Amino acid sequence: MELRQLRYLVTVVEEAGFTRAAARLHLAQPGLSAQIRQLERELGQQLLNRSGRTVTATAAGAAVLPHARAALAAAERVRHTADEFTGLLRGHIRLGTVSGVATGEFDVATVLADFHDDHPQVEITLTETNSDRMLGDLERGTLDIALVGLTGDPLDPRIATDTVLDTGIVAAVAADRPDPPGPIALAELRDRPLICLTRGTGVRGQLERSCAAAGFEPYVAFEAAAPPLLLRLAARGLGTAIVPALTAEEAAAFGVRAVPIVEPELRGRLALAWRTDRLTAPAAKVLLGQLRIALAQQKGAALGGVSRT
């Protein structure tokens, strides 16, 4: 039995299939399947149920999984302990961000580049996706650190957050539209065609959560992953865009007028998130610290930006 075989088993179960697991492990699928079969022969038990559309653990596999994960974690701790004595940082850090942030007002790329210059033996993987998916990946342990939009819903108690941006959420309409003339109550959005970020983003979650509390479901006529596209659609009169707060200059550049949402006011929050019970690797701790410092320094300049989800 080898540690890599245990890693393969855990990954196949997490991905519910050999194809996705092979892609994640950067292996050929036949080789992955062969290693799992070898492990099953050695243990004398079938560990995976391959009969359905998705691969699941058998009863024996489910019993083995906690021990496999514990063995992998123990091996990682041995490596990290040795690294601390030599002062060497190495390993693999998996980072996720919401769409647009890595190229927007938060300069994540520079932080990662500086970290790589200082610690070239640490491999970094960056994924850009929506907040709900990243929070799920943090819970499953397939991400180490994520920059996510918060909806206000309770988080897994094992996930810690550090808010790097807290800004209002506004309604944006075409600049030449007189309606609404001023602040708009949330209830007045009930019958308006809305232009919003996709489901799974912090702003969309905040909107849907607040509308549900007010007793209605928002009518989202258009949705997109990038706030600038929402503003361009609103500027052409296709609906009311729900976006993070805009400065007057930003609104004018997109041809829209930003209207505060009141009763209640909606807030958009962007936060770094990580698993408190998993972030034990020295490299991940160092990168998290550098991200917290850098994003805290940048958030003042970012207030009023439009690239947040």
Q: Domain 166-268, what architecture? A: 3-Layer(aba) Sandwich (3.40)
Query: 2: burial class by Cβ within 10 Å (0-12, 13-18, 19+)?
Result: exposed
pLDDT at 165 over 60: yes
The CATH T-level fold of domain 91-164+269-302 is D-Maltodextrin-Binding Protein; domain 2 (3.40.190)
How large is the angle between the packed helices 29-43 and 18-25, nearest 10 degrees? 110
Q: What is the pTM of this model?
A: 0.67
Break the chain into its structural domains and give their ranges: 3-86, 91-164+269-302, 166-268
Q: Higher-confidence residue: 164 or 67? A: 67
CATH 3.40.980.10 fits 3-86, yes or no: no
Residue 204, pLDDT score:
92
**Average pLDDT over every residue of 136-154:** 89
124 forms beta bridges with 93
**Average pLDDT over every residue of 274-295:** 82
Residue 308, pLDDT score:
44
Mean pLDDT, the chain, integer: 86
Confidence tier at 171 by pLDDT (50, 70, 90): very high
Domains 91-164+269-302 and 166-268 agree in fold: yes
- The per-residue b/e assignment along 246-280, b for 16 or more CB within 10 angstroms, e otherwise, is beeebbeebebbbbebeeeebbbbbbbbbbeebbe
| Alpha-helical regions (H) of the chain | 3-15, 18-25, 29-43, 59-86, 108-118, 131-140, 202-213, 227-235, 248-254, 282-302
Residue 286, pLDDT score:
85
Confidence tier at 148 by pLDDT (50, 70, 90): very high
> Closest Cα partner for 219 from 207, 228, 234?
207
pLDDT at 307 over 50: no
Q: Does residue 91 contact residue 145 with C-beta atoms inside 8 Å?
A: no
C-alpha neighbours within 13 Å on the C-beta side of residue 299: 17
- Extract the tokens encoding 274: 């990580």
Calpha distance 254→228 (Å, rounded): 8
- Extract the tokens encoding 61: 């596999």
**Average pLDDT over every residue of 111-126:** 88
pLDDT at 237 over 90: yes
- The per-residue b/e assignment along 40-58, b for 16 or more CB within 10 angstroms, e otherwise, is beeeeeebbeeeeeebebe
The predicted-structure confidence for 107-118, as pLDDT tens digits, reads as follows 788 888 988 888
Start-to-end CA span in the chain (Å)? 44
91 forms beta bridges with 122
Q: C-alpha distances in angstroms, 21 versus 46, 82, 88, 221, 285?
A: 18, 29, 29, 36, 26
Q: Does residue 74 contact residue 81 with C-beta atoms inside 8 Å?
A: no
